[in-house]
Structure 1
Amino acid sequence: MILGKIDNLNMKIYLIGVGGVGGFYGGLLAESGADVTLVSRGESFVAIRKSGLVLNCSDGERRVFPVKVIEHVSEIIDPDLIILAVKSYNLEEVSRGLERVINDDTIVITIQNGLENDMVVSRHIHCQVLPGLVLVAASKTAPNKVNQRGSQRKLVFGARSGEITTKMREVESVLKSAGIDAHVSESITQELWKKFLFVLSFASATVVQMGPIGEALNNPQSLKVYKDVLRETITVGKGEGIEFEPDIFDVTLKGALDFDPLTKSSLLVDIQNHRQTEVEALHGVLVRLAERYNLPVPVTYSIYKRILKLRG
């Protein structure tokens, strides 16, 4: 159910976390003329303030300058919308800082991989927190440069209750005006699970292959891992009460087969660059949910332990 009438698109936006996804969507918003301020630190902050953002997109390269950027969450003033594009393992710290700068009308959207990110944030702040998801192949190649591959630029968000408010429609409109394929969903939990199926199986196959998705799906061993993890995730989702379409397995696999074959999962990129990973928000969550329902997930569990060992 949609409540109210859209009449105000003058929205003050802050986007926290200028990695591949944050840099790409933040750049599109800035280029469109939206009132957006990026929150970034270190070399990225310096480079963006000095030279703006360089977006190397599937439809050509463009430089976005100037771009408003601040270095600390504490500098946020009167936000209407905050998009959290930091990694899942940074959500606790960022959320504690947000409580001092938000107001009752602020909307916060989480776009990390995983199922529970909005719940993590909601423990620390009092405004509306909406779970979201993105489908885009974007990677940061320099402090102020982002490469984007393929045609997908999707951002889906919504309230777990299914209610759609005027403010949500305003957010959707602002994002669409920037060239982002934005949609408010009445069934966001279902959408999160569908994305989770895609991401977890995609990440698992690329980690086993230690290469991009095209190589992984052409290797019988990693393809089997992909399919096994996908089946396990569907089983656990059903345990959670999610009603998947009958062809969800085939649709998810086709999505991976149709994806840019040179794309690596962000999990693999983090492993290869010896960075902290989002394994707890991905494999860790599925393992814990499987334990709750006493469901076997041997392949997912083995990959989970392998990644923890790599990290250790």
Structure 2
Amino acid sequence: MGALGLMYANIIQEHLGSQAVQFVMDGERIEKYKNTDFKINGVSKKFRMVDAKNAMPADFVLVAVKFTGLEKALETIKKCVGPDTVIISVLNGISSEEVLAKHFGREKIVYSVAQAMDSMRFGSEVRYTKEGELRIGVANGGVQEKLKSLEDFFDKSGIHYIEEKDILRQLWNKFMLNVGINQTCMVFSACYSQVLGTKELKDVFVGAMQEVKAVANKKGINLNDDDINQWIKIIATFAPNGTPSMGQDRIAKRKSEVELFSGTVIRLGKETDTPVPINQMLYEKIMEIEAEY
């Protein structure tokens, strides 16, 4: 029930009713949330919540936890996954689909990239001005029929999507953005407009993305400067005072997904013999910030 989970549940519920979507969680979390007044753009909303022990196989499972919670989520959703279930992940990074495929079977996975939304959650309130879109596709042995069934559901439920022929490239493309914008906002306690409007911050934002592009190119993924420029244009359309998930983590003094971002870039930089000094700097700064919590 984070920023994306609540946003997507709200969209589905508005189009198909409260019986069409439910959150699956452990009993402790149900106790925590059952009396919570969730607000979506200022409006109080109620959502169905099911104890993981009592869950039944679902048509679709949308995994919307942080990467740090993915291992635990594998157990939580176990009873939701049947022979015909389609699993989609809106996690950041480039590895959640592989984790899910190894656990539940590659034939159940549709790759997804959630982008161009500005959803933020603080406490029990979620606000967004842009729903963005899901870029979806199959790769590495995925099943085309699963993709078609998911698209049919999205058509009914009001979730915007675009089918990608090269979904792995798109996964890396979004990863490049997250490495740049998330970490820059966290390290400098900045909002979107400050990152784009301050030369020092923009140089870090763009430089971190350039390092991902260099690593991706060596891994056979064709990212280019046009991709970077397109992300700059998209960020300029976001709520000026908004901040992404890692910026929100610093405000709430939560552990961030730094290992997923600069941690991954540093590791891949060593593998491909690619210098990544900006990501090294961001990693060290974020470690210092989190050590002070």
Equivalenced residue count is 284
Aligned pairs (5 A) from 1:1-312: 18-33=1-16, 35-40=20-25, 41-42=29-30, 45-47=33-35, 53-56=38-41, 62-65=43-46, 67-70=47-50, 72-126=51-105, 128-135=108-115, 136-143=117-124, 145-149=125-129, 151-161=130-140, 165-245=144-224, 247-312=226-291
2: distance between equivalents of 1:257 and 1:31?
28
Letter of the 1:68 partner, please give it: R
SS at match of 1:140: strand
The answer to whether the Cα contact below 8 Å between 2:189 and 2:250 also exists between their aligned partners in 1 is no
After superposition, what is the alpha-carbon deviation per residue over 1:40-95, rounded to whole angstroms, capped at 9, x for unaligned?
525663136xx6x5321xxxx55545x3212x333220211100001011111111
SS at match of 1:186: coil
The answer to whether the Cα contact below 8 Å between 1:158 and 1:164 also exists between their aligned partners in 2 is no
**As a proportion of its length, which structure holds more strand?**
1
After superposition, what is the alpha-carbon deviation per residue over 1:187-237, rounded to whole angstroms, capped at 9, x for unaligned?
111111111121111113212321201112212211111121111111011
Instruction: Tell me the TM-score normalized by structure 2.
Output: 0.88
SS at match of 1:302: helix
The answer to whether the Cα contact below 8 Å between 1:197 and 1:252 also exists between their aligned partners in 2 is no
The answer to whether the Cα contact below 8 Å between 1:138 and 1:147 also exists between their aligned partners in 2 is yes
**1:124 Cα deviation (Å)?**
2.4
Q: Rate the CA distance shift 1:74–1:157 in 2: closer, same or farther, 3 A.
A: farther
Over the matched positions of the two proteins, sequence identity in percent amounts to 21
5+ residue gaps, structure 1, are 1-17
SS at match of 1:109: strand
After superposition, what is the alpha-carbon deviation per residue over 1:104-160, rounded to whole angstroms, capped at 9, x for unaligned?
2211111111111111223322361233121211122343x32112x3431222222
The answer to whether the Cα contact below 8 Å between 1:205 and 1:225 also exists between their aligned partners in 2 is yes
2: distance between equivalents of 1:152 and 1:33?
17
2: distance between equivalents of 1:289 and 1:195?
16
5+ residue gaps, structure 2, are none
Letter of the 2:161 partner, please give it: A
Q: Rate the CA distance shift 1:116–1:109 in 2: closer, same or farther, 3 A.
A: same
What is the aligned-residue RMSD (CA, Å)? 2.2
1: distance between equivalents of 2:97 and 2:289?
28
Instruction: Tell me the TM-score normalized by structure 1.
Output: 0.83
The answer to whether the Cα contact below 8 Å between 1:98 and 1:125 also exists between their aligned partners in 2 is no
